[in-house]
Amino acid sequence: MNIPSGIRPILAAVALMFAAMPAWAQVESREGIALQNQILDLQRQVQGMQAQAGRGSPTNLGGGYSGPPPSTSSGDLVAQLLSRVGALEDQVRQLRGRVDELQNQADRQSADLAKKIDDLAFQMQNPGAAAPPRTGPVPRPAQSQTISPQPGALSLAAPQPMQPQAPQPPPAPIKRTPELSMQEGNAALARRDYTAAEQAAREVLINYRTSPRAYDAQFLLAQALTGQRQFSQAAIAYDDTYNRSRRGGHAEDALLGLANSLAAINEKKAACDTLGKLRAEFPTLRPDLRDGVASAAQRSGCR
């Protein structure tokens, strides 16, 4: 089959169009994969027509043979190819718009969740910040009356009482290693002694802030606060654990614990946003967390 010389520039333009399509067209979704398959199919057709045109093109030895005149069927085929390419480009632009919209929605949800966590932390650190102002007159302290001595009167100064000597502070206890503190804290958590577990975790966080075990201590503190049903403080501790290492060994557990703590204080929308963030950042959840995530989503009423 000989492709008319007038059609060859159009086929070359179509081939360049496929080669110049941006890399963002490869959307990782079912619609994107189907669209890429259609593009590859059209690209193979164009390459096949170019190969046939190359085999049927005249050579300099043939005395300047120009081939048969363009046929209507070849023109219709090229028109169909151009039409399909235009339709595919429109679908690529629509998919790109949907991806940008979903990304913006995820960014807004993440910003709202961070703001709620910061507000919760501020309320815990400043419990009297939201108290209503006091109304009515402000009481003034009673003024002490001083009696001036009469002229010529003998004034006797009262003897000053002896100040008791301040007791010497006891010697500071020897600090435990962070490994020993974490070992005892985890043992206390296992036997549901949440107060002892909290003390061990805070001991590591105060004395060994730069130690690698501080990350484990932060998660232990969140678990201990959850056991004591201090869900507001537990939510802050889980959020701190996640922010310490967003790909660490406790990141998935911290996000799930944060969602459960938010649901416990009736912040169900924030809990659902946290679960959505957990699924987005960790598409393949650990098997031991799947039931907990499903239970948290049901308890929060997530869609």
Cβ atoms of residues 296 and 281 within 8 Å: no
> For the packed helices 251-264 and 268-281, what is the interaxial angle rounded to 10 degrees?
170
Q: What is the pLDDT of residues 19-65, one digit of tens each?
A: 545 444 444 556 667 777 777 777 777 767 666 655 554 444 344 44
d(CA 232, CA 110): 19
User: 199: number of CA atoms within 13 Å, CB side?
Assistant: 8
**pTM assigned to the model:** 0.50
Where does the pLDDT of residue 1 fall: very low under 50, low under 70, confident under 90, or very high at 90 and above? Answer: very low
For residue 237, pLDDT beyond 90: yes
Cα distances from 113 to residues 67, 110, 258, in angstroms, run 69, 5, 11
Where does the pLDDT of residue 16 fall: very low under 50, low under 70, confident under 90, or very high at 90 and above? Answer: low
Where does the pLDDT of residue 138 fall: very low under 50, low under 70, confident under 90, or very high at 90 and above? Answer: very low
Cβ atoms of residues 2 and 68 within 8 Å: yes
Q: What share of the chain is helix, strand, coil (3-state, %, to 5)?
A: 65, 0, 35
pLDDT at residue 288, rounded to an integer: 92
Burial 54-68 (b: 16+ CB within 10 A, else e): eeeeeeeeeeeeeee
Q: What is the pLDDT of residues 73-108, one digit of tens each?
A: 666 777 777 788 888 888 888 888 888 888 887 788
Any idea of the CA torsion for 67, 69, 72, 77, to the nearest 10 degrees? 40
